[in-house]
Amino acid sequence: MYQGVTTSVAISERADLAYERVFEAHWADVFRFALAWTNDWTAAEDLAQDAFVRLWNQRDRLDWSRPVLPWLLVTTRRLATDRFRTLRRRLLAPTHEAAIDEDPSLRARWLDVCAGMRELSALERTALVLTAVQGATYDEAGAVLGTTPGALRAAVSRARAKLENA
């Protein structure tokens, strides 16, 4: 009995530490992915936060020896495409003020990037950011986005063509 409790506490502590390490290592990756998908700073913060909340809730059941980032990105994509979540976002005001609102110059730069990226679909933006900014292979990006490497390659090509011809 005591043995079991001790083991449980030890696993929980290890999971907490692993969670902290993953948060520090991958918050920016998850946020960037969410931002590419939504092109909306506040929505991206919400999505990334909810993905990490789910990771926290799953921390005792996860195999921390395996890479967690793919799990986080797939979770973020599923959250982003969740129809119920989309409906909630339309009905309710944002749950927080975006951190970028506190930095006017950063905000101005983001507005220009956002305007440029608006020409692309969510898949095109995310495919481009995953491969060109995050350094993912087409196989890795395809797995995260639930599509084939060929479709990913086509999306990246379309995205580049749209941006260059805009």
Q: Pick the closest to residue 45 from 83, 90, 92, 80 (CA basis).
A: 80
Residue type, 144: V
**Euclidean distance between CA atoms 157 and 54, whole angstroms:** 33
**Binding pattern for the stretch 114-133 against another protein, x by CB under 8 A and - elsewhere:** xxxx----------xx--xx
Burial (0-12, 13-18, 19+ Cβ within 10 Å), 130? buried
Q: Is 164 in the site for another protein (CB under 8 A)?
A: yes
Q: Is 18 in the site for another protein (CB under 8 A)?
A: no
Q: Is 23 in the site for another protein (CB under 8 A)?
A: yes
Closest approach of another protein to the CB of residue 78, in Å: 14
Phi, psi at 152, each rounded to 5° = -65, -45
Q: How many residues bind another protein (CB under 8 A)?
A: 51
Q: Is 17 in the site for another protein (CB under 8 A)?
A: no
* Residues of span 77-116 touching another protein by CB under 8 A: 88, 90-93, 95, 97, 99-104, 106-116
Which residue lies nearer to another protein by CB, 1 or 166? 166
Closest approach of another protein to the CB of residue 111, in Å: 3
Alpha carbons within 13 A on the beta-carbon side of 163:
17
